[in-house]
Structure 1
């Protein structure tokens, strides 16, 4: 039987300074990385069974504001990650997964330029005060992955 992972995000509750790199134009020769800096604040709800992340980052190419609602399913013993970019007000399709040790891995399906792609989101707890978040897309059913989002967080408060 799978372990109870309902407290997997407890370590992340609080405020973080975040540096984000986003790959614009994935799967094309014109793909370029753009960078943002700002904050990420994580709030716990329902005794740890859910949390909400507020993201606010800006850079030379603009600003990203978003929220991520994470919900724990005790029957499946998995989390769903549900992200909304405030630039368009739309909720992306969720990813589903769980943590093993200090690594969370979540999978789903998204759309990129009108085409369905697999998405993998990885959360790495580096220490109590640092974390790394990676999103990758696969256009070939998971044979290969292209990294499209990297966020490096450093705790600013507990």
Structure 2
């Protein structure tokens, strides 16, 4: 089984007329894709100190997260709690499954900005998921990918990468290593 860093990112495809990302669901995508994630988790975070600046310095810190299902399983919500430089930080994700497209949309909001970010959209295939969006970071147009590696459902890994060249190259800038609360 390839390690987290050896997993390939699927090619990023754009609509020639609109420039929008083209995202299609895997054949196995379902509303049960995130069932493994329900409950309380301890996280070990590894985050680049600066994104898209050729930074090699990583910040490491602990956090917690709790997820529960909503909308009869078509969605879920999590609450992320951490402390940065002694200041409490809270984030939340809202994940919604569209049964017609079989795609998940993941929305993020946090206590710094107080707004929902554009959703990342995608699906799982054989325990690994990639979710994409177009966004702006420090006045640069970027493609963002979230990867969920849930091949080990008791120790999943979430990671994030940015591409400033439409998916030709990627900079991984955040990893979260999950373990069940109280399992250490």
> Which structure: larger Rg?
2
Which 5+ residue runs of structure 2 have no aligned equivalent?
Answer: 1-25
What is the aligned partner in structure 1 of residue 162 from structure 2? 137
- Choose between structure 1 and 2: higher strand proportion: 1
TM-superposed CA distance for 1:60, in Å, is: 4.2
Local SS of the residue matching 1:47: helix
What is the aligned partner in structure 2 of residue 98 from structure 1? 123
Give the paired residue count.
158
Further displaced range: 24-33 or 7-16 = 24-33
1:147 to 158, 167, 172: 172
Structure 2 CA distance for aligned equivalents of residues 120 and 135 of structure 1: 6
Structure 1 CA distance for aligned equivalents of residues 65 and 110 of structure 2: 14
The two structures, once aligned, show a CA RMSD in angstroms of: 2.0
1:121-151 Cα offsets, whole Å, 9 max, x none, are: 1001142321100100000110000001110
1:38 to 63, 83, 106: 63
TM-score (norm 1): 0.91
1:66 to 71, 78, 91: 91
Which 5+ residue runs of structure 1 have no aligned equivalent?
Answer: none
TM-score (norm 2): 0.79
